[in-house]
Copies of this chain bind each other. A is one copy, B any other.
Amino acid sequence: MSTTTINATALFDWVKMVFEHHGFPVDDAHQAASVLLSADLRGIDSHGVARLSGYLRLIDKKRINPRPSMSIIHETPSTATMDADAGIGLVSAPAAMKIAIEKAKNVGSGWVAIQNSNHFGIAAYHAMMALEHDMIGFAVTNASPLVSPTFGAERMLGTNPICFAAPALNQPPFVLDMATSAASNGKLEIAERANKSIPEGWLMDAQGNSSHNPSELKQGGMLLTLGSDAEHGSYKGYGLSAVVDILSGVLSGANYGPWVPPFVAFLDPREDQPGKGIGHFVGAWRIDGFRPAAAFKENMDHWIQRFRETSPQSSDNPVLIPGDKEREQQAEREIHGIPLVESVWNDLQSISKQCGLPLVNQ
Contacts and interface: CB of A to CB of B under 8 A. Distances in A.
Contact of A74 (B106, B256, B290, B317): B290
A63 to B, nearest CB: 22
Contacts of A232: 182-183, 199, 201-202, 226-228, 232
A153 B310 CA distance: 7
A172 interface: no
Contacts of A76: 107-109, 286, 289
A240 B140 CA distance: 14
Contacts of A153: 310-313
Contacts of A148: 310
A209 to B, nearest CB: 9
Interface in A61-110: 74-81, 106-109
Chain A facing B: main interface SS: mixed
Q: How many copies does the complex hold?
A: 2
A233 B320 contact: no
A231 interface: yes
Nearest to A178: B236
Given A306-B257, A312-B152, A79 B176 contact: no
A258 B289 contact: no
Given A233-B178, A299-B256, A302-B274, A78 B250 contact: no
A257 B321 CA distance: 13
Interface string A94-132: 000000000000111101010000000000000000000
Contacts of A152: 310-313, 319
A8 interface: no
B154 A239 contact: no
Interface string A177-218: 011101100000000000000010110000010000000000
A148 B245 CA distance: 29
Contacts of A243: 164, 176
A186 to B, nearest CB: 13
B78 A77 contact: yes
Interface residues of A, number: 87
A201 B180 CA distance: 18
A300 interface: yes
B233 A182 contact: yes
Contact of A253 (B109, B242, B291): B291
Nearest to A228: B232
Contacts of A317: 151
Contacts of A233: 178, 182-183, 226
A176 B149 CA distance: 14
A54 interface: no
A258 B287 CA distance: 23
Contact of A107 (B78, B231, B320): B78
A33 interface: no
A246 interface: yes
Interface string A232-276: 110111111011011100111100111000000000000000110
Given A153-B312, A178-B239, 11 more contacts: A80-B289, A113-B290, A136-B246, A151-B317, A156-B310, A176-B236, A178-B233, A199-B232, A227-B232, A228-B228, A235-B320
Q: What 7 pairs across the A-B complex have the smallest Cβ distances?
A: A76-B108, A79-B289, A79-B108, A176-B239, A152-B310, A154-B311, A77-B107
